Amino acid sequence: MAPVQESLYGEKRRRRALFVDRDGTLNPDPGYLKDPARLELFRGVGDALRLVHDHGELVVCVTNQSGVERGFYTAEDVGRIHARLNELLAREKTRVDAFYFCPHHPDRGCACRKPGTQLFERAREELGLDLARSAIVGDRWLDIEAGRRLGLLTALVKNPGHEQAVERELAEHGCQPDLTAHSFAGAVARVLARG
């Protein structure tokens, strides 16, 4: 993977990325997912991520995993979930290019837990990303607020059964997404249509 590309004029050009949340966005959220065998992808995720790659963008997953500090699972368990996620995506000829996760409890007040932006900034430096030309798709206000702070195009997936709770959260925290959709694939299609 060559994250920083040379332009015709010799200057370095940073790449676009689609940042994605994990639980509730790429896969159903059973709560503190520890067992890779329980991981399932939402329908259309593979096709949507393949389309993102066809547009020349990287896919970067940024996820809060407070279950590590709570003692429900380990950082190694998170790594196994991410490996399994990419195994499932490989069957659909696509992948997540990089994973970043915050292991901390929400009460810690760390800068890496969304809506904090530290992990996004780390990805920007490590992968050579242009945040001004990038976007985020998530299912919670935390994703939308992190994206807003960074100037990303923000897209919210409205999962059936959780819409009212998510609307309340967004109103409480005074943030609104640029785009909404009722599926991950729909959100990605709307992001890519914005160019």
Query: Which residue numbers are catalytic?
Result: 21, 23
Beta strands in 38-169 (DSSP E): 58-64, 98-102, 135-138, 153-157
Beta strands in the chain (DSSP E): 4-6, 12-14, 17-20, 58-64, 98-102, 135-138, 153-157, 179-181
Structural contact between residues 104 and 69, judged by C-beta atoms closer than 8 angstroms: yes
Sign of CA dihedral 107, 113, 115, 121: positive
How far out from the chain centre does Cα 108 lie? 22
Q: Whose structure tokens read 């940073």?
A: 14
Q: How far apart, in whole angstroms, are the C-alpha atoms of residue 169 and residue 61?
A: 22
Instruction: Please choose, from the candidates 187, 2, 195, 184, the residue with its C-alpha nearest in 3D space to the C-alpha of residue 89.
Output: 184
